[in-house]
């Protein structure tokens, strides 16, 4: 069984210009994550991505990025190539590198998914922030904090009545509803989509108050970057889709 796997790994490596060892490393990451039956198939996709990335990314890093999105957004193995397609297409059309997205996407994917965002919306928001701040790591962490606060939670993901009151007070002042017609809380993308046109009309002092309220003192810059660059968030989301 092991000999058969090694042979298949080397054969697969030839199709994507990778060594058998590299293929085994990539496949092992997927097997550890529970994708044993499709480990080699997924490893081939991770290896393929390293060939098209605009900066050097090893297969194991690519595998971890793919796994994080599959787990968070319930993406099946047969659809996993869409993950690298989305990252590659966005990096080809916006001022963000595929390596930036790949290395940092996993930092907030679970929180973004739990809040009802799609992977494509997450990539769009992250791209909008990174284009302005030039720091994808802080953009991902900023989105995590912002998303939790919009849900009335602290950085540990626990309900915080003070934060919840701040959010309600802010959006009431702005005349914005954060709820859908069915009573569900809108996701991060939908709330920012409603906020963005109003944000443009605010004074500088009001803008500072809004971003610090929704994202906290240390992540306000990322919130401002997204809201000021909202057209990119929309376009990058559509491109990822």
Calpha distance 195→182 (Å, rounded): 20
pLDDT of the residue at 231: 98
* Alpha carbon separation from 185 to 152, 168, 178, 181, 191 (Å, rounded): 11, 12, 6, 9, 9
Going by pLDDT thresholds of 50, 70 and 90, the confidence category of residue 56 is confident
CA 141 to chain centre: 10
pLDDT of the residue at 57: 86
Q: Residues in the chain, how many?
A: 241
pLDDT in tens, 90-146: 999 999 999 999 999 999 999 999 999 999 999 999 999 999 999 999 999 999 999
> Pick the residue with more confidence: 60 or 30?
30
pLDDT of the residue at 188: 98
Please name which of 113, 133, 90 lies closest in space to residue 189, comparing C-alpha atoms: 113
Query: 94 near 127, Cβ under 8 Å?
Result: yes
Residue 175 gets which letter from DSSP? T
pLDDT in tens, 85-105: 999 999 999 999 999 999 999
- pLDDT at residue 192 is higher than 90: yes
pLDDT in tens, 59-91: 888 999 999 999 999 999 999 999 999 999 999
Calpha distance 122→111 (Å, rounded): 10
pLDDT of the residue at 61: 86
Mean pLDDT score, 192-199: 97
Which residue(s) pair with 179 in the sheet? 185
Please name which of 8, 87, 18, 85 lies closest in space to residue 55, comparing C-alpha atoms: 87
Residue in this structure with the two tokens 């790591």, named with its chain if needed: 137
pLDDT of the residue at 198: 97
- The whole-model pTM stands at 0.93
pLDDT of the residue at 59: 84
């Amino acid at each position: 069984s092991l000999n058969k796997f090694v042979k298949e790994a080397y054969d697969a490596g030839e199709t994507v210009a990778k060594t058998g060892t590299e293929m085994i490393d990539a496949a092992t990451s997927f097997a550890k994550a529970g994708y044993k039956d499709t480990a080699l198939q997924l490893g081939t996709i991770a290896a393929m991505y390293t060939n098209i990335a605009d900066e050097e990314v090893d297969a194991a890093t690519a595998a971890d990025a793919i796994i994080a999105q599959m787990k968070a957004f319930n993406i099946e193995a047969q659809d996993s190539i869409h993950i690298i397609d989305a990252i590659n297409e966005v990096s080809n059309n916006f001022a963000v590198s595929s390596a930036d997205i790949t290395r940092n996407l996993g930092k907030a994917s679970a929180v973004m998914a739990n809040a009802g965002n799609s992977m494509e919306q997450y990539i769009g928001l992250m791209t909008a922030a990174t284009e302005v701040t030039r720091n994808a790591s802080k953009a991902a962490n900023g989105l995590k904090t912002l998303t939790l606060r919009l849900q009335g939670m602290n950085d540990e993901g626990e309900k915080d009545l003070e934060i919840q009151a701040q959010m309600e007070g802010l959006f009431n002042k702005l005349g914005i509803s954060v709820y859908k017609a069915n009573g569900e809380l809108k996701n991060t993308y939908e709330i920012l989509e409603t906020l963005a046109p109003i944000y443009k009309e605010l004074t500088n002092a009001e803008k500072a108050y809004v971003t610090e309220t929704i994202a906290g003192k240390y992540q306000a810059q990322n919130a401002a970057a997204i809201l000021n660059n909202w057209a990119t968030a929309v376009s990058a989301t559509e491109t990822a889709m």
